[in-house]
Every structure is written in structure tokens, then in C-alpha cells.
């Protein structure tokens, strides 16, 4: 059956049983969230393009936006792919310093000259700091974040070794601006958010650069640095339904309503399993025969895509220290609820999706 509906304006919801999902298993989600995952504010489960489960907690509703933290990185990855498709950027092997001609590295720092966009996307660029000890707070106190990051880049370690960096994602955001002439926020609104029905992100003035303004309660729209670059590694606010739209775009190989928003090749490259289990700013997971790729943000913000089961799970959470891993919730309550084993290779999702839906059960939300 050819897909004849896209959730550009509104999502369609159906009873879970309509899509051969175990409603009793899904009913275990709410009590588990309330008892063990109390900082979850919203969860949306999409099966075959239809919302089969949606709940909100802690006073939140479907129109409320949430700071999704490092989920922002996966948005940046998509924008880099779109910029390459549009030939603003040559390819992932273009050198990072090509975009910063005003920056003069030390003549002896040959390694810095070899770092590419691919290294930033895969977290395999070398930095001065120890792994998982990035001085993000120090970066945020600088008048010029980009110069600070470029100074850190290439100073320790070797190219090709995995080292998680939020600063590197910010360089990618700046590369988007340098190549397109638009901030990542503007470019996303035009080329990504608007075409698939996500809410456009307004431009909010940064009145200060303290913790609450950059990470906390004062975050609005999409945070930007003192020079106006959208933050690449965090700072974006989205609704759970829009998080699900973004995941659904990837699940459909970059196609939305017969328009190629992101190339299928880019999505394949971004989510191809590797030894680091990290693609182009996407976390990769394979467990018990189930492959998933995930956008993960601090506090337990998640967009989880499971192609084999045509599933997208979007979870928006309030930031807390050391939240429980959302994968446990997905693995124990959502994946087992999918009773069908129908597999459709992503390349065929360009044209067809297997759907068995009683149309009388559909409701718009």
C-alpha cells in the first residue's frame, strides 16, 4: 500500500491493536514512567507513521517545547547532509580549516590542518581535554567560542580515536553558517523544519550567557553564541511530536511527501554500524537482533528509530543528573509490544509502506 498520508500538518493516531501492537504491554509504560522515569515530560510512539501511544506528565502537553540538549547534534548532522546535497559544502572530507581562513594555526601543528568534517561528525577529532572531560563551561565564558575550539582542536591524541565533543558539533554549526550564509536555526527552518511540518524556531535575543541562559530555564528557541552562531551541541527546544517528525523523516530515508529532504545516501552513512557504535552524530545500537539509531540528549531526551519495526520513539525529559537509561524502557515495554515482524528495507520506503489499518479507528491529533 502506497503511503498516502504524511504528518506535515497533523498526526494521525490509531489504537495500538490496529497495527498489531500489544496494548497491554504498552499499558506498562505509564506506571513505569511515573515510578522510575519521573523526569519524562512527554513520550510519543509512532508505528508505521501513526501515533499509537502518547502521554504527557508533570503538567506538560503536546504543544510544549523542551530543551532536548544533545539531540541538537543529530539535527546538525542532518543540516550538514542537506548543505552537502545543495553543494554549499563539498563533502565530508573537506578540511575544517577551509571554513576559517582567518584562523592561523601554529606552523608546527600539522595535525590540525588534516581534520575534516567527517572527523567532527564521528567524534574522531583530537582535542586537548581528556575523554568525557570537555571544558564546556570554560568555552561558554569566551567572547569567541569558535577561536577557543579551534585552539583546542588537534592539540592532543591522534585523528581517528573516538572522543565525544560538544565543541566539535558547534564548529559544524558554524561551518553551516560560513557555507550557507545562514545560521543553523535559519537553515533548519527553511530546509528541514518547515518542509516536514515542524514548528519554525524563532530568533530569541541572548540577554546573558549564564548557566540558565545556555542550559537551563531561560533557554528559548535555539541558543546562540556571542557571535550569533546557533549552538551545535545543545540548546534547541522541540515538542515531542516534532522530535517524532524528525525521526520519521530518517525512517523514510529522507523522503517526505515525495520530496527528498535529505539524501538517502546521507542517512545510510549517518547510521551505518561501526566499531565506535557512533555514526554522524547518531548513537548506534544493536541488541537481540534489533538495530536502532538514536539521538540522545542529557537528562534522557531521545529520538529512537528502529527501521525493522517501522518505529519512532520520541521522549522529552527534564534535566536531572544520572537519569535511567531510556533504552531499558524502550527494550522492555515498547519493542516487545510490536507483534508483527514485517521488515521493509529502507530503500523501499521511498515508495511503499506495509500498513494494515482499520480506517475507522484513525483520529487526527
Average pLDDT over residues 244-256: 97
pLDDT, tens digit, 9 for 90 and up, residues 125-144: 999 888 889 999 999 999 99
Closest CA to 345 of 264, 275, 239, 288: 264
Please report, for the chain, the start and end positions of each structural domain, with discontinuous segments joined by +. Answer: 16-67+235-337, 90-215
For 120, the grid coordinates are: 567532527
Average pLDDT over residues 197-208: 97
Domain 16-67+235-337, CATH: 3.40.710.10
Predicted pLDDT at 324: 93
Closest CA to 128 of 106, 149, 108, 107: 149
Predicted pLDDT at 232: 98
For 296, the grid coordinates are: 540522545
Predicted pLDDT at 350: 41
Predicted pLDDT at 168: 97
pTM of the model: 0.93
pLDDT, tens digit, 9 for 90 and up, residues 272-312: 999 999 999 999 999 999 999 999 999 999 999 999 999 99
Distance in angstroms (rounded) separating the CA atoms of residues 321 and 69: 13
Residue 347: partners with Cβ closer than 8 Å, 6 or more residues away:
253, 264
**Listing from the earlier edge strand, what are the strands of the sheet with 363-364?**
283-287, 290-297, 301-306, 311-317, 40-47, 50-56, 12-13, 363-364
Average pLDDT over residues 213-239: 97
Distance in angstroms (rounded) separating the CA atoms of residues 286 and 279: 13
Residue with cell 577551509: 98
Predicted pLDDT at 361: 63
Given this chain, do its domains 16-67+235-337 and 90-215 carry the same CATH topology?
A: no
pLDDT > 90: what percent of the chain? 85
**Greatest C-alpha distance within the chain:** 69
Distance in angstroms (rounded) separating the CA atoms of residues 333 and 193: 30
Half-sphere exposure of 178 (CA within 13 A, CB side): 16
Strand, helix or coil for residue 52: strand
Across 67-76, 106-115, 180-189, 274-283, least confident range: 106-115
Q: Is the model's pLDDT at 229 over the cut of 60? A: yes
Residue with cell 502521554: 55
What fold does the segment set 90-215 form as a domain?
A: Methane Monooxygenase Hydroxylase; Chain G, domain 1 (1.20.58)
Predicted pLDDT at 360: 52
Q: Are 303 and 243 in contact (CB under 8 A)?
A: yes
Query: Residue 351's Cα: distance from chain center in Å?
Result: 24
- Sign of the torsion formed by the C-alpha atoms of 341, 342, 348 and 349: negative
For 270, the grid coordinates are: 549517518
More confident position, 266 or 358 = 266
Amino acid at each position: 500500500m502506497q503511503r498516502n498520508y504524511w504528518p506535515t500538518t497533523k498526526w494521525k493516531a490509531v489504537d495500538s491493536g490496529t497495527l498489531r501492537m500489544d496494548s497491554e504491554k504498552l499499558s506498562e509504560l505509564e506506571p513505569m514512567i511515573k515510578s522510575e522515569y519521573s523526569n519524562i515530560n512527554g513520550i510519543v510512539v509512532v508505528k508505521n507513521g501513526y501515533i499509537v501511544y502518547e502521554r504527557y506528565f508533570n503538567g506538560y502537553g503536546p504543544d510544549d517545547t523542551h530543551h532536548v540538549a544533545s539531540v541538537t547534534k543529530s539535527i546538525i548532522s542532518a543540516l550538514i547532509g542537506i548543505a552537502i546535497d545543495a553543494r554549499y559544502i563539498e563533502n565530508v572530507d573537506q578540511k575544517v580549516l577551509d571554513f576559517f581562513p582567518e584562523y592561523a594555526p601554529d606552523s608546527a601543528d600539522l595535525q590540525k590542518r588534516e581534520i575534516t568534517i567527517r572527523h567532527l561528525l564521528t567524534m574522531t577529532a583530537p582535542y586537548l581535554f581528556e575523554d568525557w572531560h570537555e571544558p564546556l563551561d570554560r568555552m561558554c565564558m569566551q567572547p569567541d567560542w569558535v577561536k577557543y575550539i579551534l585552539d583546542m582542536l588537534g592539540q592532543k591524541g591522534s585523528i581517528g580515536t573516538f572522543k565525544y565533543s560538544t565543541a566539535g558539533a558547534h564548529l559544524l554549526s558554524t561551518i553551516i553558517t560560513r557555507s550557507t550564509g545562514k545560521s543553523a536555526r535559519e537553515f533548519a527552518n527553511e530546509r528541514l523544519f518547515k518542509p516536514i511540518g515542524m514548528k519554525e524556531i524563532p530568533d530569541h535575543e541572548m540577554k546573558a550567557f549564564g548557566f540558565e541562559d545556555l542550559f537551563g530555564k531561560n533557554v528559548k528557541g535555539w541558543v546562540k553564541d556571542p557571535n550569533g552562531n546557533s549552538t551545535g551541541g545543545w540548546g534547541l527546544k522541540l515538542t515531542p511530536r516534532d522530535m517524532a517528525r524528525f525521526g520519521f523523516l530518517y525512517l523514510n530515508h529522507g523522503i517526505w511527501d515525495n520530496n527528498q529532504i535529505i539524501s538517502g545516501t546521507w542517512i545510510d552513512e549517518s547510521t551505518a554500524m561501526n566499531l565506535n557504535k557512533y555514526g554522524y552524530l547518531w548513537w548506534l545500537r544493536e541488541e537481540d537482533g534489533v538495530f536502532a539509531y538514536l539521538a540522545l540528549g542529557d537528562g534522557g531526551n531521545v529520538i529512537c528509530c528502529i527501521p525493522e519495526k517501522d518505529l519512532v520513539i520520541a521522549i522529552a525529559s527534564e534535566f536531572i543528573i544520572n537519569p535511567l537509561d531510556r533504552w531499558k524502557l524502550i527494550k522492555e515495554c515498547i519493542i516487545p509490544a510490536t507483534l508483527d515482524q514485517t521488515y521493509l528495507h529502507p530503500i523501499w520506503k521511498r515508495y511503499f509502506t506495509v500498513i494494515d489499518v482499520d480506517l475507522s479507528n484513525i483520529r487526527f491529533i
